[in-house]
Amino acid sequence: MQIAEVPPPLEVEDSRRIFGLETEFGLHVVAPGSRPVTPEEVAGHLFHSVVQWGRSSNVFLTNGSRLYIDVGAHPEYATAECDTIEDLIALDKAGERIVQDLVAEGEQRLREAGVEGEIHLYKNNTDSAGNSYGCHENYLLRRRADFAGFARGLLPFLVTRQIVTGAGCITRTPEGAHFSFSPRADHMWEGMSSATTRSRPMINTRDEPHANAELYRRMHVIVGDSTMAQPTTLLKIGSTDLVLRLLEARVPMPELALAKEMQAIRDIAHDLSGTATVELADGRRLTAVEIQQSFLDSVVSHVDGLIERTEEVERILDLWQRGIDAVRTQDYSGIDTELDWAIKLKLVKRYQDRLGCALDDPRLARLELAFHDVSPTRGLANRMERDGLIRTIVSDEAIERAKTVAPTTTRAHLRGRFVREALASGRDFTVDWVHLKFTGQESRTVLLKDPFRYEDERVDMLLGTVVS
């Protein structure tokens, strides 16, 4: 058997980055009058067709992404490696449709099992009992020795970005309800750590690059909210990427380390006026508006230098500034079709006016769930998008395509090809983020350590063995 060489890592520009998003969906079965049903049973019915073709409830798809049932019996979707934010938005939205496509058969199988009801999948971060689940962001970084110090430089940005990229939520307290920037803010327990389920850090420091560990490491950000509006996802990923580029280049940045990150993230979340100040390590007190503006000013000062001015960069910076301005001026009309918290606040307020009720009314909580429902018919974010009440970035065709086709400019392309051809061949195979293998002793394992490489002779040969 001919042996292809392991190709060297591709030379890529420093500005190129791999992005990924992992979304945990809330799983809710509504079956009044039926026998009790466990989340595990519902998840089993939901994933029946997946297990049929993938022989597992943990599979990689032809679009290069991973779909599985996570701890707690809820569906999780991790996008394939993307090197553009538009690809990432398309794959993220495709994930909503992929899990929603499982609902009809899940409901049918539940019915056959004697449970007449509806299955709802929510792309949100909290349930009615105060449990939280996440939307994790992954950014590929060039390896450096002082990761902890580097990551610490990002924390003031991550704590304050909720005023523009937060999902918004009604917060219920014994003293009444109020609208907050971020549902995740109250569920963060520390700044950095290697754990996720026991303690919940903003940045997970577990060193698992899924790539050549001599060159790269992965920044795993846990603090973000799941976002429905495409422009919010663009800003969430785009602004973080731009700040990371400055930190990676070690350019001088304003000193903004916070004295108490956990206190700060909560204080900011619960102050829609944007006037609450948080304490910095050097004793100063600043608002989230001031801290975000400082990061934005730093980024803007490097455009046309370190940061190439592209249409996408301009779009990110424009929305970022308008988001900060909206909080500063308390006029949300400039962002209420683009940024999740403002879209949701407008929706909640309009329905509250209609009902003439208090903010803690359960009908408004019901409205919030409907907003995050990924169903094209029951889901309000989807319907608002169709009605022009939420703007889009990528086309509907691009999202449909991303359900089955992997990004063409990253390793995901190789994985997608392998999964597609392996399924067509009927042979057993195993696949993960870095390995491709046909089951059987004679077959070789191809190790894909370069996330930027989308062509590889070894994969061609591996797939050639299927045909021959």
Partner 1 sequence: MPQVNASGQPYEDDAPEPAPAPATMASTDALDDLLEEIDGSLQTNAEQFVRSFVQKGGE
Q: Does 196 bind partner 1 (CB under 8 A)?
A: yes
Q: Which among 44-52, 174-182, 268-276, 299-307 is the span making contact with partner 1, rule CB under 8 A? A: 299-307
147-176 positions binding partner 1, by CB under 8 A = none
d(CA 137, CA 155) in angstroms, rounded, equals 14
Q: Give the residue with the Cβ less far from partner 1, 128 or 275.
A: 128
Compute how many other C-beta atoms are within 10 angstroms of the C-beta atom of residue 248. 16
The residue within the footprint of partner 1, chosen from 101, 116, 255, 304 (CB under 8 A), is 304
**Shortest Å, Cβ 380 to partner 1:** 7
Among 26, 95, 156, 407, which residue interacts with partner 1 (rule: CB under 8 A)? 26
Instruction: Find the binding residues for partner 1 in span 200-259 (CB under 8 A).
Output: 200, 222
Stretch that binds partner 1, among 20-28, 45-53, 146-154, 245-253 (CB under 8 A): 20-28
- Distance CA(121)–CA(375), nearest Å, equals 8
Residue 401 contacts residue 90 (beta carbons within 8 Å): yes
Are 122 and 372 within 8 A, CB to CB? yes
Q: Which of 391, 401, 427, 444 binds partner 1 (CB under 8 A)?
A: 391
**3-state DSSP call for residue 23?**
strand
Contact window for partner 1 (CB under 8 A) among 238-246, 264-272, 348-356, 399-407: 348-356
Indicate the residue type of 433: W
268 in Cβ contact with 276 (< 8 Å) = yes
Nearest distance from C-beta of residue 262 to partner 1, angstroms:
17
57-65, 278-286, 316-324, 403-411 -> range binding partner 1 (CB under 8 A): 316-324
CB of 71: closest distance to partner 1 in angstroms?
A: 5
Q: How far is CA 100 from CA 104, 122, 127, 439, in A?
A: 8, 10, 19, 31
Give one DSSP letter per residue of 162-228, joined into a string.
Answer: HHHH---EEEEETTEEEEES-SSGGG--EEEES-SSSS-EEEE-----SS-TTTEEEEEE--PPP--
The residue within the footprint of partner 1, chosen from 41, 86, 127, 279 (CB under 8 A), is 127
Contact between 84 and partner 1 per CB under 8 A: no
Known catalytic residue at 87: no
Q: Cβ of residue 315: shortest distance to partner 1, in angstroms?
A: 7
Distance CA 248, CA 453 (A): 22
Which of the ranges 48-56, 260-268, 342-350, 455-463 carries the binding residues for partner 1, by CB under 8 A? 342-350
**What tokens appear for 232 in the block?**
């919010």
Considering only 37, 389, 461, 466, the residue that binds partner 1 (CB under 8 A) is 389
DSSP states along 270-306:
T-TTS--EEEBTTS-EEEHHHHHHHHHHHHHHTBTTT
Mention every residue, 6+ apart, whose C-beta is less than 8 A from residue 57: 43, 44, 47, 50, 51, 68, 69
447: number of Cβ within 10 Å: 12
Contact 75, 155 (CB under 8 A): no
Name the catalytic one among 70, 87, 92, 225: 70
* Catalytic (active-site) positions: 70
**Which residues of the chain form contacts with partner 1 (CB under 8 A)?**
24, 26-28, 30, 32, 39, 70-74, 76, 120, 122, 127-129, 131, 133-134, 136, 196-197, 200, 222, 296-297, 300-305, 309, 311, 314-315, 317-318, 321, 333, 337, 346-347, 350-351, 354, 362-363, 365-367, 369-370, 380, 383-384, 387-389, 391
